[in-house]
Amino acid sequence: MAAFLEVSNLVKSFGTNTVVKGVNFAFEKGEFISLLGPSGCGKTTILRMIAGFERPTSGSIRVDGEDLTHLKPNQRKLGMVFQAYALFPNLTVGDNIAFGLKIAGMPAEQRRARVEEMLKLIGLPGFEKRFPYEMSGGQQQRVALARAIAPKPRLLLLDEPLSALDAKIRVSLREEIRAIQQDLGITTVFVTHDQEEAMSISDRIVVMNAGNLDQMGSPHEIYNRPSTRFVATFVGQLNTLPEATFGPSRAIRPELISLAPRPETDTTLTGTISDVGFLGSVVRLRVDVAGTPINIDTFNINTATPPQRGDTVTLHLAAKDVLTLGA
């Protein structure tokens, strides 16, 4: 099966500064893809090139077999949600959602029905007559989502849509976005710098670093088999193990170390607890192993007292869980 979204040798330079350095990826129809990386890694520039707001210096973008590279944004039939909501302040919620439909020439009757359907989908039925300024940020962003998907775009682009919202709404809205995306089966490209966000909703993640694609894969692959040092350190927590015992560039995830032996563990380390962080479901211990700090995540057990600062503990880990960090 041919790829639905295909980006080939994409390069973007602003003057002498090359921000996207030859990126390739291809995804199937219906996938939820995250472009993940720190600010300045080129992820937003890639999204803006897919949308047509930036012209690639070289390379091509194809959607459903059609070359979009040289089309104007208004010819691409895509939907997009922006970080700052970008609802039209002069239009009601209903007119905002209907904007793309009206431009496309859909008759008023059908438009009304579609707006109603969209408002039901985003959980804001009866909000047609409201103006954007009368709504909270989370509501506005849901309306922006409805506006983006109302014309049934081939591709939904999300440019850090959750960054302007507070923590609780961020989590509930991301779950809602994922549910709607799966419901409609719409191919989605999501840009974020938040690795937890990317891991929790994506089918596949593209990790970007300084204009290059570092790794592409499912959240499970990215987390458990990071292909570069950058990916390993950017995604999730990581402990660098003492070089004397394990050799150079060896690391392990905090949850793969335990205080008690497990069937698969074959290596032990001894250290002193220097800090205990209680995070609710997880208790994070910082252990000093001959000068190397090592973080351990253990589950909270409600009947047991957590370990105390200054306790001497033995750490158990399995050699197969140790990651070797490449370049």
Tokens of 101: 């439909």
| Interface with another protein, residue 171, by CB under 8 A | no
| Interface with another protein, residue 140, by CB under 8 A | yes
| Interface with another protein, residue 161, by CB under 8 A | no
Cβ distance to another protein smaller for residue 90 or 302: 90
Which of 20, 51, 252, 315 is the binder for another protein (CB under 8 A)?
51
Cβ distance to another protein smaller for residue 50 or 232: 50
Which of 12, 76, 174, 286 is the binder for another protein (CB under 8 A)?
76
Contact 97, 116 (CB under 8 A): no
Cβ distance to another protein smaller for residue 172 or 270: 172
Cβ distance to another protein smaller for residue 175 or 266: 175
Cβ distance to another protein smaller for residue 59 or 137: 137
Count of chain residues binding another protein (CB under 8 A)? 40
d(CA 236, CA 199): 10
Q: What is the DSSP string of 188-223?
A: EEEEES-HHHHHHH-SEEEEEETTEEEEEE-HHHHH
| Interface with another protein, residue 122, by CB under 8 A | no
Q: If we measure between CA atoms, which residue out of 315, 36, 16 comes closest to residue 192? A: 36
| Interface with another protein, residue 166, by CB under 8 A | yes
Cβ distance to another protein smaller for residue 122 or 256: 122
Q: Three-state DSSP class for 194?
A: coil
Which of 104, 108, 179, 319 is the binder for another protein (CB under 8 A)?
104
CA distances from 57 to 22, 158, 189 (A): 10, 23, 21
Chain centroid to CA 166: 17
Q: What is the DSSP string of 268-317?
A: EEEEEEEEEEE-SSEEEEEEEETTEEEEEEEE--TTSPPP-TT-EEEEEE
Nearby residues of 184 by Cβ (< 8 Å), 6 or more positions away: 149
Pick out residues in 23-42 that bind another protein (CB under 8 A): none
- Which helix (H) or strand (E) segment holds residue 12: the answer is strand 5-14
Rg, Å, the chain Cα set:
24
Q: How many Cβ atoms sit within 10 Å of the Cβ of residue 60?
A: 14
Instruction: Please state the closest distance from residue 54 (CB atom) to another protein, in A.
Output: 11
| Interface with another protein, residue 133, by CB under 8 A | yes
**Contact region with another protein (CB under 8 A), list: 116-124, 143-151, 238-246, 314-322:** 143-151
| Interface with another protein, residue 316, by CB under 8 A | no
Instruction: Please state the closest distance from residue 167 (CB atom) to another protein, in A.
Output: 10
| Interface with another protein, residue 78, by CB under 8 A | yes
Tokens of 289: 């192993």
Cβ distance to another protein smaller for residue 135 or 323: 135
Cβ distance to another protein smaller for residue 84 or 184: 84
Instruction: Please state the closest distance from residue 66 (CB atom) to another protein, in A.
Output: 16
| Interface with another protein, residue 269, by CB under 8 A | no
**Contact region with another protein (CB under 8 A), list: 83-91, 106-114, 258-266, 281-289:** 83-91
| Interface with another protein, residue 143, by CB under 8 A | no
d(CA 312, CA 157): 51
Contact 18, 39 (CB under 8 A): no
DSSP symbol at 130: -
Contact 56, 212 (CB under 8 A): no
- Which helix (H) or strand (E) segment holds residue 22: the answer is strand 17-27
Q: Which chain residues interact with another protein by CB under 8 A?
A: 51-53, 72-80, 82, 84, 86-90, 99-100, 103-104, 131-133, 135-138, 140, 144, 147-148, 151, 157, 164-166, 169
